[in-house]
Structure 1
């Protein structure tokens, strides 16, 4: 049984294709840890994956406005490019002590190369098709 790390931008277009792949791997006996935002927690846990949420303080994919409602980030991508280690460190802290055999990620995922290099594991990019 392999341990697989799934990394995805939390959008329906990115999560759906790799969620299907995660489901197939779980049905074959693989153990899956899947990072996304809270909105995808239920479907990820329903397939039997271990759900991990991006820390809201460093989540470049979602931002909150003054009323606390979620909105598209305005400067999240810029912050992510300028300070990527805040985001990467959050993921590494959450998976501390876990050993992964490989990682699967969506094409738009910005830190897959860095994370897989730090973990010393191979990566597989899942193409998103409509």
Structure 2
């Protein structure tokens, strides 16, 4: 049983789709009187701090604002390539966090399913853990279908079969009928992200958000096609294109299209009548 003021730490990987779903939980736990820490790289430190956590910094192998040249997996990659990327992160981050938490080990580890270092550390510290999935969970038969292992850390820890809290609805889970009963689908836990800034619609036109997320967005031809499709339609098009290509590659855009590296999605979606997004 945790005390009323336990030290709870969160661990994930430095990608928006993995960090953002945890922030609402951080804020709620801090409000309940717990001390919350968040292990992440410098790119996401302000988000964790804004949610109320103290930050435990580490150097990631993933692309970052200071090292965008590392690139990312190309769309259409196979599962074996993806597994290697996350496994490399595990190997790099594990010793860093062992050192960073020395003398201030948490009472509970809350972690994203792809943060393979987290359950290893929890086991070493002898503390309980809670596994969170911000997206589809592994279903029975996924390894045979993809041809790649999905256990990124030490298989002896049984990473796949532990109970899991899932922050998407069961209705959108891939092969939901093949997901074990240990997964609890609770849906999203949304919280304001003040560091994202604000956005207000400049007119009363219907708004559509166009985004490919934070990882697979180096697709100027896709964004150009969307801009052309909405030209002259009376829609306000808000494009979030990421940081992997120069907006100048899009050429001259219609006046109803605005382009940003990132947008405060909660603000935009509150005004939007539609969204064109990458699935997954």
Settle same-fold status: TM greater than 0.5.
Answer: yes
Mark the CA change 1:36 to 1:77 in structure 2 (over 3 Å): closer, same or farther.
farther
C-alpha distance in 2, partners of 1:70/1:49? 29
C-alpha distance in 1, partners of 2:92/2:85? 9
Mark the CA change 1:64 to 1:10 in structure 2 (over 3 Å): closer, same or farther.
closer
Q: Where has structure 1 moved over 6 Å in runs of 4 or more?
A: 74-77
For the 8 Å contact 1:33–1:50, the answer to whether it is kept is yes
2:118 equivalent to 1:112: yes
Structure 1 residue 92, shift from structure 2 partner:
1.1
2:101 equivalent to 1:102: no
For these two proteins, the number of residue pairs brought into alignment is 125
C-alpha distance in 1, partners of 2:89/2:63? 16
1:40-98 residue CA offsets vs partner (Å, 9 max, x unmatched): 1111111221112222xxx2323699xx5453357996487479554211101111110
Match of 2:6 in 1: 2
C-alpha distance in 2, partners of 1:29/1:78? 38
* Unaligned stretches of 5+ residues in structure 2: 74-80, 135-167, 169-187, 189-280
TM-score between both structures, scaled by the size of structure 1: 0.79
Using CA pairs under 8 Å that are at least 6 residues apart, name the structure with larger relative contact order, 1 or 2. 1
TM-score between both structures, scaled by the size of structure 2: 0.39
Q: Match for 1:26 among 10, 26, 30?
A: 30
SS of 1:126's partner is: strand
1:81-130 residue CA offsets vs partner (Å, 9 max, x unmatched): 47955421110111111031110011221222211111111110122126
Counting only pairs closer than 5 Å after superposition, residues 49-64 of structure 1 correspond to structure 2 as 49-55=53-59, 59-62=60-63
For the 8 Å contact 1:60–1:73, the answer to whether it is kept is no
Q: Match for 1:37 among 29, 34, 41?
A: 41
For the 8 Å contact 2:90–2:116, the answer to whether it is kept is no
CA radius of gyration, larger in: 2
Match of 1:71 in 2: 70
Pairwise CA RMSD = 2.8
2:132 equivalent to 1:126: yes
Mark the CA change 1:81 to 1:37 in structure 2 (over 3 Å): closer, same or farther.
same
